[in-house]
Amino acid sequence: MKKLNIIILGFAVLSLTGCKSLYGTYERPDVVSEGIVRDPVNDQATLEGANDFGNLPWRSVFTDPHLQAIIEKALENNPDLLNAALNIDIAEQQLKSAKLSFLPSVVFAPQGTITHFGSHTEATKSYVLPIAASWDIDLFGKLRNQKKAAQMAMLQMQDYKVAVQTGLICNIANLYYTLLMLDRQNEIVTNMAGLTKNTWDMMQLQMEFGRARATSVQSAQAAYYGVQTQATDIKRQIREVENSLSLLMGEPAHTIARGTLANQSLPTNFSGGVGVELLSNRADVHAKEMALAQCFYNVKTARAQFYPSLNISPTGGWSNGNGLVNPAKLLLSAVASLTQPLFMQGKLKAGLRVAEDQYKQAYNTWQNSVLTAGSEVSNALVAYNAAEEKSKLYDQQIEVLKTNVEHTQMLYRQSSSSYLEVITAQQSLLNAEISQVQDQFSKLQAIVNLYYALGGGSK
C-alpha cells in the first residue's frame, strides 16, 4: 500500500505541473458585439442606453386579459415547452451521473459451485461472497472535464427552455394581433359592402330613369361582389389563425375569445436607444455559448486520453476456499493498474482533432447568433419607426378619400361625374383603410418582435 501511495502522489504532482492545460476553466472568448444594433434613424450602430424593455415580465407587456389567458394555457400545455422541460431533466440526470463518476463503483457478485466426482465420492461445495470495487483516479482531469461538459449541457437545456418559452409567447402574441387585425378588416369590408350595395342600387335606379347605362350598373355590381369575395377570404384567414392558436395551446381547434385592435396598448419607450446585453439576456444566444463551453471541456477530455489512467480495484469477501476451508475465511486483495496509451491506431489524435473542430464550429455558431440577435433588434426598430411614420400619412390619406367618395357620389347624382369615378373612389378608400389596419398590426408586430429580439418573455 505504501508503494501504491507513492505512485498516486507521483502522478498527482505530474498532473499539477506538466498538465495544467488539462484543468483549464472556460472563459468567454472575444466576440464581435460592438455596433451590432443599427440606429433606426441615423444609421449608426449602438448598444448604449438604459432601456430594459426586454427585461419586462410578459404580463407587463401583453396586458390584454384574453391574450394573457391564451399564453397561460400554452405555457401549461404546449408540447414543445413540455419537451424542453424534459430535456432539462435528462441533462440533470446526466450531470448527476458525471458527478458520481468520481466515486468508486461497488458490486456484489456471489458465486457457488457443487463438484461431484463419481458416484462413491461426496460432492464438494464451494462458495465465494465477494464485494469488489473499482475506482478510476482522475489524475489528468478526464472525469472533471466530463462533469464540466455535463454542467454546460444542462445550462444549455435550461436556456433552450427559456428560448422556447420566449418564442412561444411572442408567436402567440403575433397570431393574436393578426386575429384582431383580420376582425377589423372584416368590419371595414362589411361596411364597404354596404356602401357598394348602395352604389349598385343608386345606379340601378338611375338606369330606370334613363340617366345611366347598363354598363355602370354592371360595374357597380361587380365591385360589390369583389368586396364580398374579400370578406370571404378574410373569414377563412380568421379560422386559420384560430386553428393555429388552438394548436399552440394544445387544444382542438375552436373559436378564440378576444378583444379589439383599437384597445391594444403596448410599451413604446424603447426607440431612443437600446440598452441591451445580448450576450446574457438572449436565452438562445446564451445557449450557443454554453454549447461552446461544452466543446471546450470536450477538447480537454480528448487531450486527457493521451495520458495514463490509474485504476484501483480492491476486493473483499468470504470464501470456503473451493470447499477446502471450513468455516469460511475473510479474503482481502487490492489491485492497481496503470494504462498508458502507446499506439491506438490514430484514434486519439482523430478524437482530439474532431473535438477541436467542433469547438471552432460552436464558436462560429455563437458569433453568428450574436450578429443575428443584433440584426433582429435593428429590424424591429426600423419596422416600428416606419409603421409609426406611415400611420400619420394613412390618417391624412383616408380623410381625403372619404371626402372624395362623398363628392363623387354627390356629383354622380347630379350627372357631373362618371360611375367609374364613384367605383374607383370607393375602392381606393377600401384599400387605404385595409392598409391602415395592416400598418397598425405591423406596429404591434414590431414591438412584439423587438421584445423577442431583446430576450423578453422569460419571466
Q: How far apart are CA 235 and CA 239, in angstroms?
A: 6
Note whether 176 and 245 are within 8 A (CB): yes
* Residue 296 falls inside a structural domain: yes
**Residue whose C-alpha is closest to residue 276's, from 29, 50, 45:** 50
pLDDT under 70 in the chain at which residues? 1-21, 33, 35-36, 38-51, 102, 116-121, 123, 211-212, 269-280, 318, 320-329, 331, 412, 414-419
Q: How far apart are CA 428 and CA 433, in angstroms?
A: 9
* Residue 335 falls inside a structural domain: no
Identify the DSSP state of 138. Answer: -
Q: How far apart are CA 399 and CA 20, in angstroms?
A: 75
Strands 329-339 and 309-319: what pairing? Answer: antiparallel
* Residue 210 falls inside a structural domain: yes
| 266 three-class SS | coil
Strand spans (E) along 81-145: 105-108, 111-115, 124-137
**Residue whose C-alpha is closest to residue 365's, from 90, 29, 38, 45:** 29
- Residue pLDDT, tens place only, 357-388: 999 999 999 989 888 888 888 888 888 888 88
Residues 6+ apart with CB under 8 A from 179: 238, 241, 242, 245, 256, 258
Number of domains in the chain: 1
- Residue-level pLDDT at 359: 93
- Residue-level pLDDT at 421: 78
Q: What is the CATH number of the domain that holds 348?
A: 1.20.1600.10
- Residue-level pLDDT at 275: 39
Element spanning 313, H or E: strand 309-319
* Residue 7 falls inside a structural domain: yes
Element spanning 250, H or E: none
Quote the domain boundaries for residue 266.
Answer: 2-102+138-306+341-453
- Residue-level pLDDT at 347: 83
* Residue 124 falls inside a structural domain: no
Q: Would you list the DSSP string of 381-442?
A: HHHHHHHHHHHHHHHHHHHHHHHHHHHHHHHHHTTSS-HHHHHHHHHHHHHHHHHHHHHHHH
- Residue-level pLDDT at 365: 92
- Residue-level pLDDT at 43: 45
Distance of CA 19 to the CA centre of its chain: 39
- Cis? peptide before 327, omega within 30° of 0: yes
- Residue-level pLDDT at 119: 64
- Residue pLDDT, tens place only, 112-145: 777 766 666 676 777 777 787 777 777 777 888 8
Note whether 331 and 302 are within 8 A (CB): no
Task: Pick left, alpha or beta for residue 110 (phi over 0 → left; psi -120 to 50 → alpha; otherwise beta).
Answer: beta
* Residue 313 falls inside a structural domain: no
Residues 6+ apart with CB under 8 A from 270: 51, 53, 381, 450
Q: How far apart are CA 441 and CA 437, in angstroms?
A: 6
